[in-house]
Chains A and B, each alone.
Chain A
Amino acid sequence: MTAVPPPPPAGAAPYGGASASKNGLGTWSLVTGILSIICCGFIAGIPAIILGLQSKAAAEQGLATNGNLGQIGFILGIIGSALSVVGMILNFSGLLALPFAEFS
């Protein structure tokens, strides 16, 4: 169900001879972006947005080959952050103070 095995095509890029030294940015952006959706809202979402931006910048400078992951992490981070912030506003403003919420 989840994607596992890599088809790592050797010609990894339209970038000529781009290095992968900053690929960690994109990977972590994706990881934190997913975390922001499944549990942690903006606590993971803001790092995802920052890392995503850094990853895209690194990809443009030829220091990363996975700016696509940075882009996805960036988007997920925005979605996760936005949902959690809207939730907090609704919750704490009392507009929607529902009595359940024992669990995280």
Chain B
Amino acid sequence: MTAAVLERETQTGSVRPMLGPLSTAAILAAGAVYTAVRDPYQAGFFPECVFLAASGHYCPGCGGLRATHELLHGNLVGALDMNPVVVLVIIPLIVVSLAWWGLRSAGVRLPSVTISTPMAWALPLFLFAFWIARNIPALEPFLAP
């Protein structure tokens, strides 16, 4: 009860509720600028992928930085080539949920989203399937970076 009241109070007026969404957006924006300016095709600017180094296989995020780089340079096809899931699922999901979070914190009346257990499992399970699929040689031309 008191928590609900508190929540409502912090949602009106003050800047504080915006700190979370704004700082998250700032961190993501800084990362995006770095990824756009630097060249993720070359070694040295980003840490190596340990999973790829150790196993020789692609994890679900492999090519994600290159895809982001391409996307930020306006090359949608190149981005999809690198990692379709990051382009079509992960990035839109980040943008939408960040906007949702920011707007709600700013006091805009949007419904609160309740993530059910099956919904919460859906993305990880999909990512595991993608993980396997992109390492199948026949599918590599389409799914691997």
Name A residues whose Cβ lies closer than 8 Å to a Cβ of B. Answer: 1-3, 6-9, 12, 17, 19-21, 27, 30, 33-34, 37-39, 41, 63, 65-66, 68-69, 72, 76, 83-84, 86-88, 90-91, 96, 98, 100-104
Q: Given A19-B4, A30-B115, A38-B59, are A100 and B53 also a contact pair (CB < 8 Å)? A: yes
Of B4, B60, B115, B145, which is within 8 A of A103 by CB? B145
Decide if A38 touches B127 in the complex (CB within 8 Å). Answer: yes
Q: Is the CB of B114 within 8 A of A90?
A: no
Residue of A nearest to B20 (CB): A24
Contact B117 A84 (CB under 8 A): no
Given the known interface contacts A38-B59, A66-B114, the answer about A103 and B41 at a Cβ–Cβ threshold of 8 Å is yes
- The answer to the question of B27 belonging to the interface, with a C-beta cut-off of 8 Å to chain A, is no
Which of chain B's residues 21-79 have a Cβ closer than 8 Å to chain A?
Answer: 40-43, 46-56, 59-66
A104/B111 contact (C-beta < 8 A), A19-B3, A86-B54 known: no
| B19 beta carbon closer than 8 Å to chain A | no
Does more than half of chain A's interface fall in helix, strand or loop, or is it mixed? loop
A-B contact pairs, 10 of them (CB 8 A): A1-B88, A6-B114, A30-B120, A34-B124, A37-B131, A39-B61, A87-B54, A88-B54, A100-B53, A103-B65
| Beta-carbon contact of A101 and B49 below 8 Å | yes
* Of A27, A72, A87, the contact of B50 (CB 8 Å cutoff): A87
A92, B62: Cα distance in complex, Å = 20
Residues of A near B108 (CB, < 8 A) are none
Nearest chain A CB to B127's CB is how many angstroms away? Answer: 6
Check B127 against A83 for contact (C-beta < 8 Å): no
Residues on B facing A (Cβ under 8 Å) = 1, 3-4, 6-7, 40-43, 46-56, 59-66, 86, 88-90, 93, 111-124, 126-128, 131, 145
Residue of B3, B52, B54, B120 touching A69 (CB-CB under 8 A): B120
Q: Are A39 and B64 in contact (CB under 8 A)?
A: yes
Of all chain A residues, the one with the shortest Cβ separation from B121 is A72
**Cβ of A37 and Cβ of B49 under 8 Å apart?**
no
Q: How far is the CB of A1 from chain B (nearest CB, A)?
A: 6
By a CB distance below 8 angstroms, the chain A residues around B52 are 100-101, 103
Query: CB distance B56 to A72 under 8 Å?
Result: no
From B6, B53, B115, contact of A101 by CB (8 A): B53
